[in-house]
Structure 1
Amino acid sequence: MKKILLLLIASCAALYTYAGTYYINNKTGNDASDGLSPAKAWRSLATVNQHTFMPGDSMLFARNGVWEGQLAPLGSGDAKAPIVFSAYGSGALPEIKAGGHFRDAILLRNLQYIVVEYLAASNLDSSVEFQKTGPTGVRVMAENIGTLHHIRLANLYIHDINGDNKKGTAEGCGIFWDCRGPKPSNIEHLIIENCKVERVDRNGIRGNGTFSFRTNWFPNKYLLIRNCQLEDIGGDGIVVKAFDTAMVEHNKLFHIRSRAKDNAVAVWPHSSDHTTIQYNEVGYTQNDNWANDGQSFDIDGNSRNTIIQYNYSHDNEGGFMLVISDLINKDNVKTNGNIIQYNLSVNDGINRKRLFNFAGVTDSTLVKGNIFYNNAPKSFTMEAVDIEGGIPEHVVFEDNYFVYTGKTPVVFSKSPKQYGHVNFINNAFSGNIVGLDNLPNRKDAVAANGQKQYPKKPQFPWNFMPVKLKSTTQQFPKDLYRSVTAQ
């Protein structure tokens, strides 16, 4: 009996550790086959969705294949053997087309140790102006389960999703993390990399905040979004929501807020702690209706210890930066611990007509070593540091360059009282600058000691320095070149 029991245990272990590679081909496949070779590939998503995958398994989709429906697999990997959904063959990425018949083209519900790579997904229902379900390309869901671990989305092409461009439950999203109760549930170690997201209404990459209230604080942990490109997004670009420790780096975002009429920004955290946003290029965020937002970056409500550094921001109509607190109560802490450093901003605020916007009562914001350059030919007045809805506390602008060489003046038009908690230390102002006398706590830059000439081969973002800026301001603080060695 003991030998039989040992044999059963060994057999179960062998079954558990066996890793299979499955194939699906929408042209030559057969659902009656076992799927374990290209010659015996499955054909339909229904067969894939009915199969429970085991740690170490791979599910490979034939390139050039298109499947109408939803990919909603079953089964989780483990720390040593994730489950991989990927592609085989040559040609275009395999595509999952939900077509508005499913809320999510790809749904990963309560799965962990999962890799989804080299797939395309769309969710366009052309029969309606927008879908009312809140459609997505990929939804990662942790529902009433506790903590899910290690999910990687890589080399995906997410496109053409027609959700509602108004904030609310019908917003569409390219990639969306979704954490629900009643049991506190979250995701640890979510990686989104090398993905392209375009023509999505309303959001590019973001998640929800079911457990983001400080009275019910159970945040996701360890988010990495890198080397992604987002273009023609109706509303917000990348929103870090309900995360503790996130890195957003080396992404490109163009033409964000291209259709929304309400508030939207290219990259921002909300209800998140320890977010770093660096080495991104953000351009052409729109604000053609003169509404709020439209900036390249935002440090939003209920967020602590955010760093925004080494980014190249240009031609964003709503401005460069928003710093805001939500209504401060037991659920939402004051936005604080903000660092905005060593960024290059070129011609931001050309439509909303402001560079910075502080809204509500925020605390502890350091703005250091940035270059704000504008040579716009259009003649209008741009607010340098707009303050509304309360006076921010402990704000320091230090070692920044404000260089306005065109017909657009930048003005400091708020009262000395409003600027009372804003300190300007060792900043350089040149060109069309108005209203500096309104800054009660201002110590201008003096003759440079320890500065160095502009380097011949600067790295990102300084390699985007406009030629006229180089000739206008010949010297920059040594700290500006920290980005040369920081990558």
Structure 2
Amino acid sequence: MRGLQTPRRYQVTSIPLGLGKVVLGKIKGLDLLPSAKLTSSIGNITLEQSTGPATYYVSDSENDASDGLWPASPWQTISRANQGKLNPGDRLLFEGGKTFTGGLTLRNLVGTAANPVVVGSYGSGRAILRAPDGNTPGIFVYNSAYLEIRNLVLSGVGTAAADGLIAYADSPGLQHLYVSELEVSGFAVGINVQSSVNSFRDVRVTWCTLHDNANTGVFLGGINRGDLADVYVSHCEAFNHAGERGYGFYLFHVAAATVERSVAHDNGGSSSHPQAFAEADGVTIRHCEAYRTTTAARDAAGFLIDGGSTNCVIEYCYAHDNWGAGFQMTSYAGAGVQFRGNVIRYCVSVNNGLGVGGYGESATWPLADSAAYGNTIFADVSRLAKPLGQIYLLSYLKNWGVYNNLVVVKGDLPVVEAWLGSPANTVNAAGNAFWTVGGTPRFQEGGRNHASVAAWRGVTGWESFHGKPTGKVGDPLFQSGAYSSEVVGIGEIDSLEEKLGGWRLQGGSPVIDAGVDLRSLGISPGPPGTDFFGGQTPQGGLYDVGANEVR
């Protein structure tokens, strides 16, 4: 499609030659690319398009017999766009505000770092690519690199088996797939990127809106562990996914990924996790929000680190009004590698079925060598659909740490609930603080209630640090505005910390300097070493309890 194009001849009168492209650019109705050149004489001008990058236009105002090289002579259909091949630096643009029916196919396109291939819209607004049936994806990408897809609406039929954007690679060494400013609805999965044999690297999904798809907003996965790597997701919103899974964002077999400043809400399926990853390594979710997840199962969470994951972090996130957990770690059999080295830290959980949870499936596949620390958890039992203890530990846990968490409940609800039942389980809990509004904190172990930290310590051995008792009980004195949840939303996600200022501690809080020294446990609070609100931890050498380090 690119290279030296068929010459186009124009009749010119009363215009002296020699003015070159300046004159041509003034000829009525002629839209020149920068690489156009003159090759003729007085009276007739022949225009040849050189071998530089080309832009191809698609609009419903013309027909497919056009050359597509000018807004005045665009192609008409997706079918025509599928017939050609885009080369480095080429752009394929659909007219904004217009609807095009069909599925766009992009196979074996390879741009360069300096000249990626770009697919998007031109003119006013975003073009709409509408799938003709439930078996046709909006855009199908295969074995392509240095490809950028942006500023489009992908619309499915609502009962689709196909995905909105599906990108698959089985050729090694492919990189640079950037997806931005898409709105995708009516498909099985909104954006689905899958890779095998270490294929895809440098995958970015930013500023996208995924809604009303059957199962998942964004799925990023490798066929084998680590096949998809160097992934970045930012400023995306996923909502109204109520199919079998009901995921907002789900990462599987991914290595070295970051998800930040994104929101998942109003999702729900048989086992729904708005923001989750499994069998992953080196994944970080930060500064995100998950809320109003509904599910029939308690095995669901606003944020989840699932089985086989290693060296992963959920930090500075906000979960509220979810039927299941706000934050959860889970291990399962057959994950390939043991669950280890994972952290949930400096997050805020408000009115979730449980605040922070841990579940290990078996002694062979335990939840191991991981920790939850520095989190603030609040729950009003009257607001919970499926209430459980706000720190909830179940089955097989090994060397699992629970440190410096602040747990406040309103109503008759355990602050901690543990169902471990095996001497092989090792949970290390210290430096946490508890409060029941208008009552006494209740601790539950194996269905038995304990009315004090001392009694709890006597049964479990928890809340002891280097032989000294820990576990503060008392009103933590939040700033005004706390004890309720509020929606931040994608429009204000960059102001997440400011919006939740009510969960900061007052200067006279009894939990200031009441935490244990995480550094003595071999836990590094960074980088960046900050609390939920961006303050350095610790202050003055001592740790506060919860997500706010007072300064």
Distance, in Å, in 1 between the alignment partners of 2:424 and 2:357 is 13
Instruction: Check if 1:154 corresponds to 2:160.
Output: no
Residue number in structure 1 paired with 2:373: 368
RMSD: 3.2
Asked if the contact 2:272/2:294 (under 8 Å) is kept, the reply is: no
2:228 aligned residue: 220
Q: Which residue of 2 aligns with 1:165?
A: none
Mapping for residues 457-472 of structure 1, pairs under 5 Å: 460-461=496-497, 463-466=499-502
Structure-2 separation of matches of 1:233 and 1:447: 40
Give, in whole Å, the separation in 1 of the partners of 2:149 and 2:71. 19
The runs of 4+ residues in structure 1 deviating greater than 4 Å are 14-17, 378-381, 415-420, 445-448, 451-456, 465-480
In 1, the alpha carbon distance for the partners of 2:284 and 2:320 equals: 20
Counterpart pick for 2:163 among 136, 145, 150: 136
Task: Note if 1:111 corresponds to 2:134.
Answer: no
Give the corresponding residue for 1:412. Answer: 417
- Aligned partners of 1:275 and 1:17: how far apart in 2? 42
Q: 5+ unaligned residues in a row in structure 1: which ranges?
A: 1-13, 162-171, 213-217
Contact 2:478–2:504, Cα closer than 8 Å, also in 1: no
Which of 188, 191, 198 is residue 211 of structure 2 equivalent to? 198
SS in 2 for 1:73: strand
Give the Cα–Cα distance (whole angstroms) in 2 for the partners of residues 358 and 210 of structure 1. Answer: 25
Could you tell me how far apart the structure 1 residues matched to 2:463 and 2:425 are?
A: 10
Q: Please point out which of 368, 374, 384 is paired with 2:390.
A: 384
Is residue 353 of structure 2 the alignment partner of residue 313 of structure 1? no
1:430 matches 2:417: no
Partners in 2 of 1:427 and 1:467 — Cα distance? 17
Shift in alpha-carbon separation, 1:433–1:219, aligned structure 2, 3 A: farther
Task: Name whichever of 265-274 and 472-481 sits farther off.
Answer: 472-481
Write the deviation string for residues 423-446 of structure 1: whole angstroms up to 9, x where unpaired.
Answer: 111111111531251532213246
Residue 474 of structure 1 deviates from its aligned partner by 7.2
Q: Does 1:246 align with 2:257?
A: yes
Letter in 1 for 2:534: V
1:397 to 379, 402, 407: 402
In structure 2, the residue matched to 1:356 is: 357
Does the 8 A contact of 2:398 with 2:424 survive in 1? no
Q: Which residue of 1 aligns with 2:301?
A: 295
C-alpha distance in structure 2 between counterparts of 1:57 and 1:482, whole Å = 44
Calculate the TM-score normalised by the size of structure 2. 0.72
C-alpha deviations, 1:15-39, integer Å up to 9, x for none?
Answer: 996101111112x122111111110
Q: What secondary structure is seen at the aligned counterpart in 2 of 1:336?
A: coil
Letter of the aligned partner of 1:341 in structure 2? R
CA pair 419-311 structure 1, distance change in 2 beyond 3 A: farther
TM-score by length of 1: 0.81
On the 8 A contact 1:209/1:271 being kept in 2, the answer is no
**Aligned residue type for 2:261:** H
- Cα distance in 1 between the residues matched to 2:510 and 2:424: 30
Shift of residue 472 of structure 1? 11
Asked if 1:442 corresponds to 2:450, the answer is no
Describe the shift of the 1:475–1:264 C-alpha distance in structure 2 as closer, same or farther (beyond 3 A). Answer: same
1:396 counterpart letter in structure 2 = G
8 Å contact from structure 2 (residues 257, 282) kept in 1: yes
Shift of 1:415: 5.5
Q: 1:484 aligns with which of 529, 534, 544?
A: 534
Q: State the SS of the aligned residue for 1:136.
A: coil
SS at match of 1:53: coil
Mapped to 2, the partners of 1:472 and 1:17 lie a distance apart of 71
Q: Secondary structure at the match of 2:63?
A: coil
- What pairs with 1:163-242 in structure 2 (closer than 5 Å)? 172-180=188-196, 184-212=197-225, 218-234=226-242, 235-242=246-253
Written as runs of structure 1 = structure 2, the 5 A alignment for 1:9-88 is 18-26=52-60, 28-74=61-107, 75-88=109-122
Distance 1:249 1:114, change over 3 A: same
Whole-angstrom CA distance in 1 between matches of 2:324 and 2:190: 23
Secondary structure at 1:460 match in 2: helix
For 2:434 and 2:59, locate their aligned partners in 1 and report how far apart those are by CA, in whole Å. Answer: 62
Inter-partner Cα distance in structure 2 for 1:447 and 1:434: 11
Please give the alpha-carbon distance, in whole angstroms, between the structure 2 residues aligned to 1:16 and 1:38.
18
Count of residues in Structure 1 that have an aligned counterpart in Structure 2: 432
Q: Secondary structure at the match of 2:149?
A: strand
CA drift at 1:368: 1.1
- Unmatched 5+ stretches in structure 2: 1-47, 444-452, 465-469, 482-493, 516-528, 537-551
Change over 3 Å in CA distance of 1:67–1:459 after alignment to 2 = closer
* Compared CA separation, residues 400 and 57, structure 1 to 2 (3 A): same
| Distance in structure 2 (CA, Å) of the matches to 1:466 and 1:188 | 40
Q: Is the 8 A contact 1:319 1:354 kept in 2?
A: yes
- Paired amino acid for 1:174: G
Q: Is the 8 A contact 1:119 1:155 kept in 2?
A: yes
